Amino acid sequence: MLKFILKRMAYGSLVILGVLIVVFFLFQALPGDPVAMMAGQRTDVSTREAIAKDFGLDKSLPVQLVLYMKDLSPIAIYEDTPENQAKYDYSVLTNLGDNVLVAKTPYLRRSFQTNKRVDEIIIENLEGTLWLAFVAMLFATGVGILFGLIAALKQNTFWDHALVSLSVIGISAPSFVAAIIISIVFGYYLADYTGLNMTGQLWVTDPIYGRELHLENIILPAFTLGIRPLAIITQLTRSSMLDVLSQDYIRTAHAKGLNFYVIVVKHALKNALNPVITAVSGWLASLMAGAFFVEVIFNWKGLGWVTIKSVETKDFPVVMGATLFVALIFVVVNIIVDILYAATDPRIRLSD
C-alpha cells in the first residue's frame, strides 16, 4: 500500500516536471512583453532593463528555467543574505562557506502585476474553484446515477430513450456555449422568476454590510459545469448497470428470494459503480483544475479566472504557479481515487 503510494507519487512528480517544462516554453511563445505590461507604454529603455534584470528576464531561457526550478525545489543552495532569508523563508541545513544548504517550502515568486505572493493568490482563489467543482460534481453524480439507474431499469422504454438522448446533448454541448445560454436565459430573461444574477461571486463585498456570502450565485455556474459529467455519468451508470444485471450473481440473488429493490441497490449498484467512480474522480480533478470558460463567463473568481487574467497580462509567475498547482491536484486526486477503488472492490489489490 505504502509502496504503491510512493510509486505513484514518484510518477506524479515526473508529470509535474513535464507540465512545468511545457508551460514554461509555451509561455515564451505568447505575444507581448511582460516588462512592457508592468512598466507601461512610455518607459525609457534603462527603466525597462532594470525591471527585466530585477525579475531575471534578461537571462537566457534555460537559465530562467533552472532558476525557477531552484525556487521550487524544497532543498537548495543560496547565498546566506537577509534578503534571501526574507524571500524564501528558509531554514538552514548546513553551511557551505558563503552559501548555505537550506530547506524551504516551494517558492512560487510574486505576481509581476500586483507584487503579491503567488501562493497567496492561489489560496485566495482556490476556495471559489473548490466550491464550484464540489457542488457541480455533487449535482452531476447524484442526478447522473439516478438517471442512469432509471434508464437501465426501464431499458427500451420512453424514459430510457429520453434520458439517453438528453445525455447525448449534454455530452456534445460545448461548455462555453452552454454557459452563455444558461447565463442569459436564467440570469437575464428569467431573472424575475429565478432571482439569479448573470454573473457573481461567492463572496460579495457590499458597501454597507461588508463581505457577504451569496450562495445563490453558485447555482448557474455549478449547473453549467455539471452538465457534461452528468451526461457521462448517466450513460456510464446505465451501461454498467445493464451489464451487472445480466451477471450470474444477480440470478443467484433472485434465486435467494430477495426482492427487486434489494437486488438493485445492494447487489447490483455496488458492482456497477466502479466505472462511475473512475469517471467521477477524473472529472473532479479536471473541474478543480479550473473550469476556465465557466469561471470567466460567470465572472466567478477561481483558479481558472485568475489564470486567464494572468495570461492576458503575461504575468508569468501566476500562470506558472496556478498551472503547477492544478497539475498537483490532478496527481493527488488520481492517487486518492485508486485507493478508493481498492476500498469498493475487494478484488483489486494495490500492488503495482
Partner 1 sequence: MSVKSSDKGYILEVNNLKTYFHTESGQVKAVDDVSFNLRKGETVGIVGESGSGKSVTSLSLMRLIKNPPGKIVGGEIIFHSPTHGAIDLTKLSDKEMRKIRGNEISMVFQEPMSSLNPVFTCGDQVMETILLHQKVNKQQAKQITIDLFNQVRLPRPEAIFNSYPHQISGGQKQRVMIAMALSCNPSVLIADEPTTALDVTVQATILELLRDLRDQHGTSIVFITHDLGVIAEIADRVIVMYRGKIVEQGTVWDIFSDPKHPYTKGLLACRPRLDMKMRVLPVVSDFMHTDALGNMTEKAQSPTYSSVGEAILLNFIDEDEIKERQEKLLLQPPVLQVKNLKVSFPISKNFFGKVKDYVHAVDDVSFDVFLGETVGLVGESGCGKTTLGRSILRLIEPTSGDVYFENRKISDYTGESIRQLRKELQIIFQDPYSSLNPRITIGEAIMEPMRIHKVLSNDKARKERVIELLETVSLRADHFSRYPHEFSGGQRQRICIARTLALNPKFIICDESVSALDVSVQAQVLNLLNDLKEKFNFTYIFISHDLSVVKFMADRIIVMNKGKIEEIGYAEDIYTNPKTAYTQALVNAIPKGDLDEIRKIQMKRRKFRIPVAS
Chain residues that interact with partner 1, rule: CB under 8 A: 3, 6-7, 247-249, 251-259, 267, 270-271, 344-347, 351-352
> In this structure, are residues 89 and 104 in contact, taking their beta carbons and an 8 Å threshold?
yes
- Closer by beta carbon to partner 1, 116 or else 270: 270
Q: How far is the CB of 337 from partner 1 (least distance, A)?
A: 17
Nearer to partner 1, 69 or 258 (CB): 258
Output the smallest distance, CB 164 to partner 1, in A.
19
Distance from chain centroid for Cα 276 = 19
253 vs 289, which CB is nearer to partner 1? Answer: 253
Q: In the bound complex, what is the minimum distance in angstroms from residue 7's beta carbon to partner 1?
A: 7
- Shortest distance in whole angstroms from residue 253 CB to partner 1: 7
Residue 17: CB minimum distance to partner 1, A: 19
Minimum CB distance to partner 1 smaller for 28 or for 344: 344
To partner 1, the closest distance from the beta carbon of 267 in angstroms equals 5
Q: Which residue has the cell 506524479?
A: 12
Least Cβ distance, residue 157 to partner 1 (angstroms): 12
**Residues in CB range of 186: below 8 A, 6 or more apart:** 194, 196, 220
* Nearer CB in complex with partner 1: 81/157: 157
Q: Which of 4, 131 has the CB closer to partner 1?
A: 4
Cβ 6 to partner 1, closest distance in Å? 7
Of residues 71 and 345, the one with the C-beta less far from partner 1: 345
Q: Which is nearer to partner 1, 172 or 246 (CB)?
A: 246
